[in-house]
Chain A
């Protein structure tokens, strides 16, 4: 499996060009179970990329961390979900210096979630690399109630906070790291198009 190819869309839609090693420089790497494959390939291409890399692995399976340990990163930590990764990530960011690279690999939700936090801490956009691996589910924000629904795979979908039926847009908020969902039957309540699987 390799980097997912998405259909070209509006400028707002993030693109994930894939990871390329910048060599032995200070780095933070975050991956989920699918994304850790991309980290392995990155290290296979240039093992020095791991010398100063702090890895956060978002997974419920600790066995994956053991495998990554073989790549000899500077440190590695396993966390169960995105929110659980925040304290460690913020700690790494607070001591990081200009020149630090952020490598993100995995779902769109993961990439958006950590990009937004990194940008908020002042990490320049140009220092963030990303590669999409695994399912193409999205983190969607309801533009009406502002609640975020995780792992959305269908269009339209039901907002997990306010219950509105939302249309999945490619409009993305970099600041929040979420796609925007807009009420699909605002004109004629109840007139809802057929539900489809989200396509890449």
Chain B
């Protein structure tokens, strides 16, 4: 299925009170596969009994095979993955990472790229930016954040005329209308961050007559926690319990039920699973299924979604 890399943590740095940067290298200094700007890896986190996975965008130079870097924001309301990274991981530890995969590629036919990162959503742009620099492609980057203190991205962004920082606490809000109204033909816009920001950019671009094919976004986040529930496996009758701070995919893996996956963030479609029967409600937290598919309750994305009700049987 998916081949893994066993990598050593060689650096941990505080970028802000909430965000840490991790650098991974091969323990024998072997070269790692290079990737493309916007790629992510999923990190396995063995936390006691529980094996969690979270996906993080790579923030290092895509052409640098000596190591991978990620930035992790501590989410105290999350399932505990980011807390694990912050509290339990130390320099010298070996962690299992997936191979880089990319669901947020640059469209290299573009004449210019406008990159918009909100908060920790700046991360995929850090690698994209290096790729664009390397190829001498025109771009501008906008980084929007609440406060200077929380602005983890500041430490990682060079000072340059085409890099714009908007700190709302300082009163420098992003003016999406003005930003998008003045772009040359062949421009593509990419947004990563809170859903509200992604929706605002898409709406503004559509209003200005940008075709949807020039507007890109990545919204994937870590799976949210929720109330515990159970699912039944149709082929074996096995009942799999899902804990509050565990995703359905992680629970299936713990029970040795094989489900294919890639992004673990509800964006790639790989883990799509057929529902045999559903007596209750599926909390669809993915970005993959359409409105109609959600309403039908015939499909579920176990990497992100949860269940509330009497019985959920999966065709596995």
Contact = CB atoms under 8 A, between A and B. Distances in A.
Contact of B183 (A25, A98, A121): A98
B135 to A, nearest CB: 16
B111 interface: yes
Nearest to A96: B185
Interface in A93-127: 93, 96-101, 121-127
A123 B187 CA distance: 9
B290 interface: no
B110 interface: yes
Contacts of B280: none
B17 interface: no
A127 B209 CA distance: 8
B169 to A, nearest CB: 31
Given A122-B110, A122-B111, A98 B184 contact: yes
Interface residues of A, number: 17
A44 interface: no
B256 interface: no
A25 B210 CA distance: 11
Nearest to A23: B209
A15 B183 CA distance: 29
Interface string B146-189: 00000000000000000000000000000000001111111100
A96 B110 CA distance: 15
A86 interface: no
A65 B212 CA distance: 35
Contacts of A25: 209
Given A22-B209, A98-B210, A122 B186 contact: yes
Nearest to A99: B209
Interface in B197-220: 208-214
B209 A101 contact: yes
A98 B180 CA distance: 8
Contacts of A121: 111, 185-186
Contacts, number: 52
Interface residues of B, number: 17
B59 to A, nearest CB: 28
Nearest to B111: A122
Instruction: Identify whether the interface residues of B are mostly helix, strand, loop, or mixed.
Output: loop
B147 to A, nearest CB: 32
B34 to A, nearest CB: 28
A26 B187 CA distance: 16
B211 A127 contact: yes
A122 B211 contact: no
Given A97-B182, A98-B214, A99-B181, A122 B187 contact: yes
A98 B181 CA distance: 7
A89 to B, nearest CB: 12
A8 B214 CA distance: 29
Interface string A118-142: 0001111111000000000000000
A90 to B, nearest CB: 11
B90 to A, nearest CB: 48
Nearest to A102: B185
Given A22-B209, A125-B213, 20 more contacts: A93-B185, A97-B181, A97-B184, A98-B184, A98-B185, A98-B208, A98-B209, A98-B214, A99-B208, A99-B209, A100-B209, A122-B111, A123-B186, A124-B210, A124-B213, A124-B214, A126-B211, A126-B212, A127-B209, A127-B211
A-B pairs with lowest CB-CB distance, top 7: A122-B186, A126-B211, A99-B209, A122-B111, A122-B185, A99-B208, A98-B183
Interface of B: 110-111, 180-187, 208-214
Interface of A: 22, 25-26, 93, 96-101, 121-127
